[in-house]
Amino acid sequence: MPSAAQRGRRTTSGASTAVVASAALQAHRAALLRLGAASGCAEPRAPPGPSLAQRLGLVPGPPPPLTPAQWLEVHLQSQARQDSCSDCAICLRPFRGEGQVLLSCSHTYHDRCLASLERFARQAGGGAAPTCPLCRAAAYEKRRIDDAQRLWRHSCAARIQAAWRGLQARRAYRAVRRLLPPQHPALRRRWAAEALGDAAAPLVAGVESGAAEVDALFAELDATAAAAGTVFQQLSARCPVSVPAGPSGGSPQPSTAANSRTGITAGRRDENGADAGQPSGPAPVQQHDWETAIARCLERDEQPECAICLAPLGQLCSGHGGGSKGSSGKGGRPKANQAQRPAGVAVLSCSHAYHADCLSAFEAFAVSSDLSAACPCCRSAYARLDLC
């Protein structure tokens, strides 16, 4: 039989074991309820390892961490259910390119959504460990994955490729439609209008691009014409020309381009084609067929224009076109006819006609510039006949 001392030691050891077990259970409970008053934190962290009660076997211990092979199996389970293609069970929004986390129970959530849920569960549950929102598994492990990001990139690339292929298909269809007209009459008319618009677009663009240059050219031409008109008016004012009458009071005497009124000597050429020079005195008046010159002028243009000022001359006398010798005066000049010949027209021996004032101003300009007078159209020496 055991002695009293042995029985006392057994009683003491049993009591101490009961006390240790009780303290271990209380510490484990306090850790679960986050009641560690000694830490002074509102949310004390869980111990890194198993508690004393779990080591003594009083309460079941935490499950061991998953191995890489087990994580691969969990990941395959999640991919088989296509969890990454569906929405997050917490925020009910698609994952897209946001961060994704995988739990040891094979469920996936947004990493931000799971962190917010765990923080709310600790505050509302008095420090209790959070559980999975779907299967309520406690003491889970989590790991970040990128399945949703890869699926989102693939989806975006597919949409971009689809848009590009659609654009290429529409371009090819338009190219084929430009070549093959439709059969329906209304669609054929629309096709013809579009083809005409496409053909006219380059022409319109070219005209619009060169419109500024054309406007500048016309503006320069207008300024040049205005300046020429001003010069001729000044020369006419400085060098007035009076038309002398014939000896019998009839038609005016024909004069050469180098007459006493203008002092211009017409440049002539000898038989060999060389320049005969400019004599100091007025050149002798030659005989000219003025009827033929006027007829040739009327045959060239029934309504001639002055080549100097570009204004119409008016109707020349058609009676000069007969060419009869009986109607011409001395020296082959036509008889004067004041009723049929309008004033201010000068006919040259080369059959060109001008305004008398324009021709006189041209001759005065040639004198001031030391130039030999020549017909403004054919550049030949001439004799003039003023019709008044």
- For 40-53, how does the pLDDT look when each residue is reduced to its tens digit (9 = 90+)? 344 434 445 667 77
Radius of gyration of the chain (CA): 59
- For 91-145, how does the pLDDT look when each residue is reduced to its tens digit (9 = 90+)? 999 998 899 999 999 999 999 999 999 888 888 766 667 889 999 888 789 999 9
Mean confidence (pLDDT) of the chain: 74
Q: How many CB atoms lie within 10 A of CB 346?
A: 25
Question: Rounded to two decimals, what is the model's pTM?
Answer: 0.38
Q: How confident is the model at residue 331 (pLDDT cuts 50, 70, 90)?
A: very low
pLDDT of residue 384: 87
- Distance from C-alpha of 361 to C-alpha of 237, rounded to nearest angstrom: 9
Minimum mean pLDDT range among 16-20, 64-68, 75-79:
16-20
- Distance from C-alpha of 282 to C-alpha of 381, rounded to nearest angstrom: 14
Q: How many CB atoms lie within 10 A of CB 276?
A: 11
Share of the chain above pLDDT 70, in %: 68
pLDDT of residue 100: 93
- Distance from C-alpha of 141 to C-alpha of 255, rounded to nearest angstrom: 125
pLDDT of residue 199: 85
pLDDT of residue 386: 86
